[in-house]
Copies of this chain bind each other. A is one copy, B any other.
């Protein structure tokens, strides 16, 4: 049987280009077409030599979607929704990398991104934080791939949140500049600097809150992202006020219970650096206790373009297509 044929729409951004590379090298998928809104005709390997994807970029024709078995959409927020809708109209399973289907509440979506282009699809979309939502992803027609900050933060906090013991939390997050997208960071502003940003509200915050609340964490959350002079990598340092004290064994039990058999979550005994997970789909997590067990500190490190975007997208696609979840990612 032929490998499923995958369309990557929006392949010139960082995440889309990486998605194209991962699909291209995937042993059980065929990269059928890559499209973009510019650079039509250029080969992707002329723009991203390192990814070595020899296909040429084409225009996306929503009237000609025959022959695709699945799609990864890496369009900007707002622009993705109509593309996803067209693909769903042809019954094509889609992983969407934008924020368009992440927020259940359309008014919250509207505050950050404006009018929604396909509100009718929001309810059927599964939130694609694979480890926390595997069953729904496997059944979904549309998967809303999480943002990079929510991925690290939610994986860090889920064992505590699901246990109902998160009273409040402070997330001090540190991200490399590729998270800002192509052209998002001027070298001279970033090098030899570190700076908090988005302190009056970051658009990833409602996404984190929505999912944490769904897990049972109802207290206040502070989320402060910082921009760092590195390209790929994201570290979430999470400081959690617990509603009851834990001991080390309980803490370990909670994390091993949830992640003990996960392929892409590594529980480690020392704080991780983002270099440990560079160019990989792994999330490294180190939980620890302070103040006699009344507070937990949890560090989670990911590569923002892999587990925080394109890698997790393929992980979700594998599930949707009935393939081995790890296929093409190790």
Could you list some 16 contacts between A and B, CB below 8 A? A49-B273, A49-B275, A174-B174, A182-B188, A185-B187, A185-B188, A187-B231, A191-B231, A192-B192, A192-B275, A194-B228, A194-B273, A199-B271, A220-B290, A239-B239, A279-B279
The answer to whether residues A50 and B288 also contact, given A196-B237, A229-B229 and a CB cut-off of 8 A, is no
Residues of B near A299 (CB, < 8 A) are: 196
Chain B residues with CB under 8 A of A195 = 235, 271-275
Closest Cβ–Cβ distance, residue A88 to chain B (whole Å): 32
CB closest residue in chain B, given A235 = B194
Contacting pair B50 A191 (CB below 8 A): no
Interface on A for B, CB 8 Å cutoff? Answer: 14, 49-50, 52, 168, 170, 172, 174, 176-178, 182-197, 199, 220, 222, 224, 226, 228-233, 235, 237, 239, 271-280, 284, 288, 290-291, 295, 297, 299
Q: Is the CB of B228 within 8 A of A14?
A: no
Q: Roughly how many angstroms separate A172 CA and B297 CA in the complex, as a whole number?
A: 11
Q: When the two chains form their complex, are residues A50 and B186 in contact, meaning their CB atoms are under 8 A apart?
A: no
Instruction: Please name all residues of chain B whose beta carbon is closer than 8 Å to the beta carbon of A184 when the two chains form the complex.
Output: 186
Give A128 to B195 CA distance when docked, in angstroms: 27
Chain B residues within 8 Å of A271, by CB = 195-197, 199
Distance A32 CA – B194 CA, assembled complex (angstroms): 33
